[in-house]
């Protein structure tokens, strides 16, 4: 495959330790082109970003909602973007765009079909848990773990799309006949056409969300019963059309309070962990609101490609956190996420 400059450095995970202390940096470790299998691709990672999933995998406890342990010494991280260095001999014709020099972003679930929606087992078998991930300078991935970077985005921006970007796309556009459309009211939690109501954890974050285009922003620490307040923002108090709930059990009551009749609540995560004694509405609550409750894990590879085309067409750029980290300082990035000091996606730059 020819001579390829080796970029060293990777983090590995020791699941027996638990917590951020389970992360260990190996400055001299790398992969070579000779190690690339027939259906694999060698990628130089330029940027990665973190999710609460990474914290949950490090913790490795039942309340993290990550039921399967990580592979010992696996490279953590599912989100990343970079450049193809070498391609295996049996990468299928449908992936022939994967040539050396191609800019790529990771898809966490490499072994499902293009249109298959991943389940929990798929997610727990993906990059950064069972398979090597993105907290490294070079990595070998199955060709199914890669899609093209949006042409207008930097590597840092593209590195935020794998989990939160694809999940948001699936939540708003993934249910046939219920896609978000112009004029709909959309409520999102812990995040920033539609009228967006954002739920966040501080006044400073609320102000920034408003500056990014949210119509309203609510600090849930000041307004724990935010469901009725969000409903009141909508015309005639009818309620929210689409709610994207990434917190889970501890916020479902407020999501049900905010949703309109025949609205859609997409449960897309468990950032808040399990209920720990909190009162969780039963499934009959959906009957009283005549709403749809939909659970999702990420989205399909086809959805990812659809999202990339949309982002290119509209030239949408994701918001990044104010602080970026080097690969060597990745533990500090994990600590920033754990302490909820970040505003948006925490990015790790490899150079």
- Alpha-carbon gap, residue 246 to 281, rounded angstroms: 16
* 180 neighbors 242 (Cβ within 8 angstroms): yes
- Alpha-carbon gap, residue 269 to 181, rounded angstroms: 23
CATH architecture assigned to 10-164+299-349: Alpha-Beta Complex (3.90)
Can you give the pLDDT at residue 2? 47
When mean pLDDT is compared over 197-201, 225-229, 328-332, the highest value belongs to 328-332
Which string of DSSP letters, residue by residue, matches 208-229?
Answer: HHHHTT-SEEEETTT-SSHHHH
The ranges of the chain annotated as CATH 3.40.50.720 are 175-295
- Residue 76 clears pLDDT 50, i.e. is over it: yes
Q: Give the domain 175-295 fold.
A: Rossmann fold (3.40.50)
Can you give the pLDDT at residue 95? 72
Q: What is the pTM of this model?
A: 0.88
Numbers of helices and strands, H then E, in the chain: 10, 15
Can you give the pLDDT at residue 4? 65
The ranges of the chain annotated as CATH 3.90.180.10 are 10-164+299-349
- Residue 189 clears pLDDT 70, i.e. is over it: no
Determine which of 141-150, 197-206, 339-348 has the lowest per-residue pLDDT on average. 197-206
Q: What is the mean pLDDT of the chain?
A: 88
Averaged pLDDT, 317-344 = 92
């Amino acid at each position: 495959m020819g001579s390829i400059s080796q970029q060293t450095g990777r983090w590995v995970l020791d699941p027996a330790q638990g917590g951020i202390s389970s992360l260990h940096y190996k400055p001299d470790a790398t992969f070579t082109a000779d190690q690339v299998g027939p259906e694999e691709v060698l990628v130089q990672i330029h940027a990665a970003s973190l999710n609460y999933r990474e914290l949950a995998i490090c913790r490795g406890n039942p309340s993290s909602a990550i039921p399967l342990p990580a592979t010992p010494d696996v490279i953590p991280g599912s989100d990343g973007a970079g450049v193809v260095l070498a391609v295996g001999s049996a990468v299928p014709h449908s992936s022939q765009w994967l040539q050396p020099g191609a800019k790529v972003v990771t898809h966490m679930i490499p072994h499902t079909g293009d249109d298959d929606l991943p389940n929990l087992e798929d997610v727990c078998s993906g990059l950064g848990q069972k398979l090597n991930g993105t907290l490294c300078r070079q990595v070998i991935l199955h060709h199914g773990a890669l899609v093209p970077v949006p042409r207008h985005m930097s590597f840092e921006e593209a590195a935020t799309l794998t989990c939160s970007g694809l999940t948001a796309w699936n939540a708003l556009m993934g249910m046939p006949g219920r896609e978000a459309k112009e004029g709909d009211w959309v409520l999102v939690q812990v995040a920033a056409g539609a009228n967006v109501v954002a739920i966040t954890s501080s006044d400073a974050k609320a102000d920034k969300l408003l500056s990014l285009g949210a119509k309203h922003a609510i600090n849930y620490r000041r307004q724990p019963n935010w469901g009725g307040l969000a409903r009141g923002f909508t015309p005639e108090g009818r309620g929210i059309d689409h709610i994207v709930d990434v917190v889970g059990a501890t916020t479902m009551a407020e999501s049900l309070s905010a949703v309109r009749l025949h609205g859609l609540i997409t449960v897309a995560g468990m950032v808040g962990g399990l209920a720990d004694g909190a009162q969780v509405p039963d499934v009959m609550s959906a009957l009283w609101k005549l709403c749809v409750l939909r659970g999702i894990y990420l989205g399909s590879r086809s959805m990812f490609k659809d999202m990339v085309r949309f982002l290119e067409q509209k030239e949408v750029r994701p918001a990044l956190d104010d602080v970026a980290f080097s690969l060597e300082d990745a533990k500090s990035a994990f600590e920033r996420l754990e302490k909820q000091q970040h505003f948006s996606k925490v990015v790790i730059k490899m150079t």
